Amino acid sequence: VPGPVLDKHSTGGIGDNVSLMLAPALAVCGAYVPMISGRGLGHTGGTLDKLDAIPDYRTEVSVEEMRRVTRDIGCAIVGATGDIAPADKRLYAVRDVTGTVESLDLITASILSKKLAAGLEGLVLDVKTGSGAFLTDPAEAVDLAQAMVSVANGAGCKTAALITDMNEPLASCAGNALEVENAVAFLRGDAVDSRLWDVTVALGGLLLELGGLCERAAEGQAMIAAALQDGSAAARFGKMVASLGGPVDFVENAGKYLRRAPVVDEVTAPASGFIRAIDGRALGLAVVGLGGGRQKQGDALDLSVGLDQMAGLGTHVTKGDPIAIVHAADEAALERAKMAVLAAYEIGALVTDEHALIVKRIG
């Protein structure tokens, strides 16, 4: 291909649909992005599960087809097949059910086997820390980032990491179809979550620097922002969806194609005050409880369920104000999720200190 082969990997969090915006934006900027993604692990969502919400989109493709789509469109978000990183598929499934999802060595092996197999020239790792991350402890996040950056650079792939905050969801929603709808609204410029914008632009700018498409990350950030703002990233996402079997008018008419949950209701604030803390892991597990994530290997997902319009940290609410909207399959699941959301939110009289969204760069 006539440009650098780049990718990013996130260690996972809540409402992290960055890949859906970042891959097409990078492609518009001249990069080629063969993004081999995963399914949900533990309380965090997986990019492939999100893409399954798009009718007829194929996440399992041959190496040839992945190469073709990447060459023609500039990006392809697909899964690890038997041909691409074959051992990882088995390790991933075993980790999910053996309590080893959080092993730093296995995380490093899993992520880098997929990424190095794709023949990347540049890789940026988004290592999450905070209540909604696997690694809630910032020191552990730094350890993982340093391990992956040194292993990947040692293997000849220019790699850097950003430590980013996951003490609250990144998008204002969590759940597969809901996050795809959110991504399309973001790409079209209809509704843009500010934290999501900042992380997407920061990761993209750093990748363009590593790939030699700009001198400095700041310049790359401006290029990514332009691709997102002028609609070219949205158009490129639409082409990728169509090339992988999805509807040709998906970006224009996403609402027509995404399944809706039958039972939808608000969770209201039990008291007035500021949102002081959010247990991101608990919100992720609430989505799993609704059927939007796996409790055990091989579980079928309900792609329509989840949480939407989640209030962010520092928001002032009055008693009775909505703090989230639950999308559920039935009334019983709705009530369980409402209780879980209420338990995940701490409301108090004083506003808490803000967490820096982008904590530090490594590499």
> Which residue of the set 70, 110, 129, 304 is catalytic?
110
360 is catalytic: no
> 272 catalytic, yes or no?
no
The CA-atom distances, in angstroms, between 136 and each of 167, 187, 191 are 9, 30, 29
Q: Tell me the helices (H) and strands (E) count for the chain, helix number first.
A: 13, 12
Catalytic pick among 9, 89, 195, 338: 9
Catalytic annotation on 115? Answer: yes
Number of Cβ atoms within 10 Å of the Cβ of 100: 13
The residues near 190 (Cβ < 8 Å, ≥ 6 apart) are none
Q: Which of 55, 96, 56, 61 is nearest to 77 (CA)?
A: 61
* Per-residue buried b or exposed e for 134-156, using 16+ beta carbons within 10 Å of the residue's own CB: bbbebebbbebbebbbebbeeee
Whether 43 sits among the annotated catalytic residues: the reply is no
Which of these, 175, 228, 173, 176, lies nearest to 198 by C-alpha position?
Answer: 228
The catalytic position among 10, 11, 200, 304 is: 10
Candidates 11, 19, 44, 47; catalytic one: 47
- Is 110 an annotated catalytic residue? yes
Q: Reduced to 3 states, what is the DSSP secondary structure of residue 179?
A: helix
Instruction: Note if 7 is an active site residue.
Output: yes
Query: Which H or E element spans position 107?
Result: helix 104-117
Question: Beta strand 33-37 with 75-79: parallel, antiparallel or unpaired?
Answer: parallel
| Catalytic member of 39, 43, 50, 114 | 114
Instruction: Answer yes or no: are the C-beta atoms of 117 and 84 closer than 8 Å.
Output: yes
Q: Is 114 a catalytic residue?
A: yes
**How far, in Å, CA of 204 to CA of 29, rounded?**
10
Q: Which amino acid is at 81?
A: T
**Given 43, 115, 195, 327, which residue is catalytic?**
115
> Which residues are part of the catalytic machinery?
7-10, 47, 95, 110, 114-115
